[in-house]
Amino acid sequence: MQRPKLSGDRVNSRWWYWIAAVPTVFAFWLVTVAWVAFAIWLEPNLLYGPSNPLVHSALVSLAAMGIPFAVLIAIFPLAVFQDTVAINRAEAGWEPSSRNYALVALLGLVALAGLAFADLSLAVIVGFVLSVPFSLYYLRERHEHVGVP
């Protein structure tokens, strides 16, 4: 039995998976920070460093996930551009400006590159803070106009 065709099936793009990964990975990181902060709170002498368990847990989790975060933030503008091009080609009734949307998505990468030399942890966090709201907005608009996701 075949599933019924969705209106989003005419858009031949899976780039939105990368866009959806931005808030998903950020949420996963927040859960990781909370879990590590809880572990540090239970055993304060476990790790040495900042006295605030939340700050320490954010730094520990970024040490493990910083490079994948940076790669995801770097791919994000390309994914937005490619997905908007595919939507415009499919004539789905929504015509997002590929250039403008990609430039907005580029803000996170610019922040990441600009702050990377000063503080890499802060750069990754700011990159995500700038990317997550736009990715959620984009996914909501895509859902309303295209039907997928």
Q: Model's pTM, two decimal places?
A: 0.86
Which sequence spans correspond to the domains of the chain? 16-146
Give CA–CA dist 27/91, Å, rounded: 33
Q: Confirm if 143 and 7 have CB atoms less than 8 A apart.
A: no
**Per-residue confidence (pLDDT) for residue 59, from 0 to 100:** 81
Q: Confirm if 21 and 71 have CB atoms less than 8 A apart.
A: no
Q: Tell me the pLDDT tens digit for each residue of 20-78.
A: 999 999 999 899 888 888 888 888 776 666 667 777 788 888 877 888 888 999 999 99
**Per-residue confidence (pLDDT) for residue 58, from 0 to 100:** 83
